């Protein structure tokens, strides 16, 4: 009964996406806080993740920063921008209207909506978490 296994992957042309433990901006904040002398637990909590995630990240990286100090370039959409796209899309805003609000090109928004449609109930819908998964 129901749909065959892999049906939605065939519909969307890609495998299902899983959300990451934390995002690049959180990791940058974490390492900046560690550099200021905070413990890995405190830095993790202040960066927006749990203390165990902070400790695990510190241990996994061998106590050394594993991400660039350089700020995000602006080339890729941030998670905040993707959340804004999802909210505006849910309010039935058009591609050009969303582009104007975010000060981005309409083609960027159109491409983002087309490439990052997650499925729910057989209908592709844009989800910020699914979209962000590939860029963290």
| 91 shares a domain with 65 | no
Residue 13 lies in a domain: no
pLDDT tens for each residue of 88-127:
988 999 999 999 999 999 999 998 888 877 666 666 777 7
| 86 shares a domain with 44 | no
pLDDT at 17 over 80: no
| 123 shares a domain with 100 | yes
User: 């510190």: which residue's tokens?
Assistant: 58
Residue 112 lies in a domain: yes
Residue 103 lies in a domain: yes
Residues 6+ away with beta carbon under 8 Å from 59: 40
| Assessment of whether the complete model's pTM goes beyond 0.75 | no
| 130 shares a domain with 84 | yes
Which tops the pLDDT comparison, 6 or 93?
Answer: 93
Residue 12's CB is within 10 A of a number of other CB atoms, namely 16
pLDDT tens for each residue of 57-72:
888 888 888 777 776 6
Residue 105 lies in a domain: yes
User: 């991400």: which residue's tokens?
Assistant: 67
The structural domain count of the chain equals 2
Strand partners, 118: 125
Structural domain harbouring 64 = 20-71
pLDDT at 20 over 70: no
DSSP three-state, residue 123: strand
């Amino acid at each position: 009964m129901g749909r065959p296994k892999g049906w939605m992957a065939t519909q969307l042309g890609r495998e299902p996406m899983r959300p990451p433990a934390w995002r690049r901006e959180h990791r940058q904040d974490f390492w900046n806080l560690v550099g200021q002398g905070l413990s890995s637990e405190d830095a993790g909590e202040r960066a927006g993740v749990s203390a165990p995630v902070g400790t695990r990240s510190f241990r996994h990286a061998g106590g050394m920063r594993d991400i660039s100090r350089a700020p995000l370039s602006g080339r890729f959409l941030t998670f905040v921008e993707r959340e804004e796209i999802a909210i505006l899309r849910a309010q039935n805003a058009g591609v050009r209207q969303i582009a104007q609000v975010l000060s981005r090109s309409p083609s960027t928004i159109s491409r983002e909506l087309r490439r990052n449609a997650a499925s729910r109930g057989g209908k592709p819908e844009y989800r910020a978490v699914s979209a962000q998964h590939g860029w963290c």
